[in-house]
Amino acid sequence: MKLKNKGVLLAGLFVVAAAFIAAGCGGDSGGGAPEALPSSSCTGIEYKGDGDPDYTIASDLPLQGSSRTQTEQMVAAIRYALDQADWKAGDYKIGYQVCDDATAQAAKWDSGKCSTNANAYAANDKVIGVIGTFNSGCAAIEIPVLNQAPDGGIGMVSPANTYPCLTVNLPGGCDSTEPDKYYPSGTRNYIRVVAHDAYQGAAAAEFMQSQGVKSVYILNDKEAYGLGIATTTRKAAEFLGIKVAGFEAWDPKATSYTAQMQKIKSTGADAVFLGGLIDENGAQVIKDKVAVLGPNDGVKLLAPDGFTQQSTIDESGTAAAGMFMSIAGVPIDTFKGAALEFIDGLQKGPLQGEAIDPYAIYGGQAAQVLLKAIENSDGTRADVIKQLFATNVTDGLLGSFKIDENGDPENASGAVVGFTFYKATDELVADKVISPKPDVVAAAGGTS
């Protein structure tokens, strides 16, 4: 899900400070129990095995704001994956800390918090891996800090980042310094278990085509994620012959969008696409769209995974009815194989019957990938990173996939490359699953 603001632009500012802090911390991985990460961001160390853990892993997710329901389930899935592994990765005993990269004031991820967290991980020589982030703007800040951590950097596995430029440079869609600026050491330390937004943009365009859309007006929230998904969707739509009637940002700090919606109405567009996050005043955008352009069964309203959560419906009220929202992966009831046992155990155990958000399965897969890399390593940070790039999952929670040299899943099947489109009623109802065609993905990424 889920990538996503000014964080990309700020990333470089934090790298120098991070390198300075990390350089003064040493890289000693000697004996003794791990020291807990700061309580200002993280829970205490959780561990259910014998003795003390040898290393700790941390999850870095926004646990405040609209994404909280999803991220809390991801945390539950990570804990459950550790339970299944007896809190070990091979011979290594593994502790876990849950870290929050959001603030109450922002009610979402916060650039300063992301920087502080990353520096804390780099400075703690017992932190051997990080699961996160949820938002790509936060990842853009944390990756270069962890890339320069002592002992070869710290491996990072994201269950949700979809901003393409974290790993690849899409023509016309990324800054010329991306993705190299995120890896100042020259060696990659970041992978993800979700397809990037060239795939989601392609799926969105194919879905619009299936809905008979002829002309779409595309908005974005100015964040890295929002602009990225808006751009890939625009390219894919144009490739499929859908007219792009306009492409611009909405101001997340505005109190009204009626003037902007009047502008859209004048173009005659029969669809509006919102590239961004519900956190960025998305509910007001939805309300004003319906107030000016009418219900969503007329001029269609579509949004990517930054909106695909119950809070979008709760915050937007009846205005959300009929809008379509996509998310990477397939509906819970269509998962197969190993995922079924994981879902059953997670629901009967940690979630106690609560309906499962698909992103929980991505969290569980990310945890399994990290634990396997630690198991296969010699116990050093550098070798854990090496093993992450050797990941080869067969019939895993998300299907089968390898990790390519960039850190992206390749040769993927199953939920890794499937996108579900939900229709909003009083809840999200699965409408259609699309695995986008390769030529549309190439067009969305600007490589066709």
- Segment 184-195 shows an average pLDDT of 97
- The model carries a pTM of 0.82
Higher pLDDT, 89 or 417: 89
Contact 385, 153 (CB under 8 A): yes
Among 202-216, 366-380, 433-447, name the one with the lowest average pLDDT. Answer: 433-447
Q: What is the pLDDT of residue 80?
A: 98
Q: How would residue 126 be classed by pLDDT, with cut points 50, 70 and 90?
A: very high
Q: What is the pLDDT of residue 420?
A: 92
Q: Could you tell me which residues are beta bridge partners of residue 94?
A: 55
Residue 168 and residue 183: Cα distance in Å, rounded? 12
Q: Rounded to the nearest 10 degrees, how much is the dihedral formed by the CA atoms of 290, 295, 296, 301?
A: -10
Q: What is the pLDDT of residue 164?
A: 92
- Segment 404-427 shows an average pLDDT of 92
Conformational region of residue 410, where left means phi above 0, alpha means psi within -120 to 50, and beta covers everything else:
beta
**Peptide bond before 4: cis, by omega within 30 degrees of 0?**
yes
Q: What's the chain's length in residues?
A: 448
**Peptide bond before 56: cis, by omega within 30 degrees of 0?**
no
- Segment 436-445 shows an average pLDDT of 93
Name the residue with tokens 């320069």: 148
Does domain 197-328+418-444 fall under CATH 3.40.50.2300? My reply is yes
Mean model confidence pLDDT for the chain: 91
Contact 395, 197 (CB under 8 A): no
pLDDT tens across 78-102, in order? Answer: 999 999 999 999 999 999 999 999 9
Can you state the percent helix, strand and coil of the chain, rounding each to 5?
A: 40, 20, 40
Fold matches, 7-194+338-415 and 197-328+418-444: yes
Q: What is the pLDDT of residue 31?
A: 65
Among 128-142, 154-168, 225-239, 403-417, name the one with the lowest average pLDDT. Answer: 403-417
Q: Is the pLDDT of residue 5 over 50?
A: no
Q: Is the pLDDT of residue 413 over 90?
A: no
Q: What is the pLDDT of residue 30?
A: 52
Residue 285 and residue 106: Cα distance in Å, rounded? 18
Q: Is the pLDDT of residue 24 over 80?
A: no
Q: What is the pLDDT of residue 26?
A: 33
- Segment 124-142 shows an average pLDDT of 97
Residue 448 and residue 442: Cα distance in Å, rounded? 5
Percent of all residues in the chain with a pLDDT value above 70, rounded to a whole number: 93
Q: What is the pLDDT of residue 14?
A: 42
- Please state which CATH number belongs to domain 7-194+338-415: 3.40.50.2300
Strand order in the sheet with 428-434: 243-249, 215-220, 271-275, 300-303, 324-328, 419-424, 428-434
- Segment 63-79 shows an average pLDDT of 94
Sketch the domain layout of the chain as residue ranges: 7-194+338-415, 197-328+418-444
Q: What is the pLDDT of residue 330?
A: 82
9: Cα separation from own chain's centroid: 18
Residue 264 and residue 258: Cα distance in Å, rounded? 10
Q: What is the pLDDT of residue 288?
A: 98
Q: What is the pLDDT of residue 22?
A: 36
Q: What is the pLDDT of residue 180?
A: 98
Percent of all residues in the chain with a pLDDT value above 90, rounded to a whole number: 80
**Peptide bond before 304: cis, by omega within 30 degrees of 0?**
no
Among 23-32, 127-136, 188-197, 368-377, name the one with the lowest average pLDDT. Answer: 23-32
Closest alpha carbon to 224 in 3, 445, 2? 3
Q: Mean pLDDT: which of 1-5, 64-68, 243-247 is highest?
A: 243-247
Closest alpha carbon to 11 in 137, 135, 117? 137
- Listed in sequence order, the residues at least 6 apart from 213 whose beta carbon sits closer than 8 Å to its beta carbon are 242, 270, 271, 300
pLDDT tens across 153-171, in order? Answer: 999 999 999 889 999 998 8
Q: 40: buried, middle or exposed (CB in 10 Å: 19+, 13-18, 0-12)?
A: exposed
